[in-house]
Structure 1
């Protein structure tokens, strides 16, 4: 199940990166290495990487959320790229930084984004249904609710949100949007209240999650980034990815195992599927400890996988 909003509040959560120690150890950071943090956010993981880097090390950080720039450390070793990590290859080439020694992608939504009411990520506030991580993008969650067909909405909530009655929800949305505005979280929740099954907070967390993933093309961005990694890493360079959704985790698992997000067909004669350019550092995903989940409940669905580029 994906990362979802939790009602438990912790003012320090924004500053606590998920599985910090496991990530830093797993990257096996070289003091003079070049590293990439694909999802800078509050900069927690990045600060850990910088502590391991020497004066000649370099860190390139990506974040499409303009708010993230406020968290940049005053450090000449850091290059900030205000773009989605799907453009990783383009910008590493621009900065003459590839190949690199390590890449990190923490795919979770920061608590800061959940806690900023006007961003529309949270089920706790009555705010415009926005959910754009990049405010330069045009499509919002409200746009999707207005324009997607019943079949498209059904598939969206079923696959991305694992909503149990996704078909009924999609039908209700299409019916209600002809006469009711669905511009804010309150308007939307009131319009589809009859569809809620079980705990309303959990139900709407799943629904909002699906909309957020679609608005930001999160799975598409992940696939685009992964397909570039083999060419961007040095031999024995490492990639660490933290996922919060079963489909994300499956993509990463398949990619590390086969060098493709989709399992390739077996050779008709020999039955093999080709050789992956990666060696698994973690054969099974690393999970957050019970103690970490207690202090940061939003980490509960996190999975960390680490792989190393095989020598040529």
Structure 2
């Protein structure tokens, strides 16, 4: 009785398939690695460099003489910085609140399935397609007392009418609010309209069956469902307000004097035109801190909702 023994040999193609699988797994990483490396260097690397410069005595050129937080102390003693910070509070607060209110109102009106909704939505969204430079130049013409709204109304016979906020140091910051709200409110409207269209109609119908009127339904039922949209809109608008630079330069130039300065224009003026790179870097880091103060709670809420979802 003989036994037949068979020997198994590894398949020659197996190593090839393993190498191909490894290459396929690593290929996306290899493709994305240059972009990630460039982003790390030019974004986070320069953030780190700016923080380092804020701890030095740098003036016209970078100097690595460590002075600790002396530049931040100088910043806190600078009157112009406090004017810029106060203006940011006024501009940012009014900008966010008015955009939210106006955007929500426009979204509710369009949510009624009115005629020409597409055309109106395009008209409201069109300003967001413009850059803040264009917006600033246009509103500079409109608010110019000798050319714009004041001149037009006086041409109609109302000689006592005045609208000279652009040249009034106490009111110039509010011209930035007008221009920024005009540009961004349509974008907020689009966010709210998307949120409204995502709400289940059965909830509204149930409230109507209970005898609730339309205003009450929106106030008690619909708007509370838009909390994520409100939070996202607040974060985006606050980020726009903190980094606002081009609108200020095009509309007021920070003036009259420096009455309409914002932290971004303060940073540019001191870092690039007054040869105080260390002080400008310190102001830039405080701006970054303001952005992080808004971004971190948003990320935390998103991660928490995904964890519990």
TM-score greater than 0.5 by the shorter chain: no
Higher RCO structure, 1 or 2 (CA under 8 Å, sep 6+):
2
Per residue, is there more strand in 1 or in 2?
A: 1
**Structure with greater helix percent:** 2
Between Structure 1 and Structure 2, whose CA radius of gyration is higher?
2
TM-score bracket for this pair, using the shorter chain length: under 0.3
TM-score (norm 2): 0.28
TM-score by length of 1: 0.27
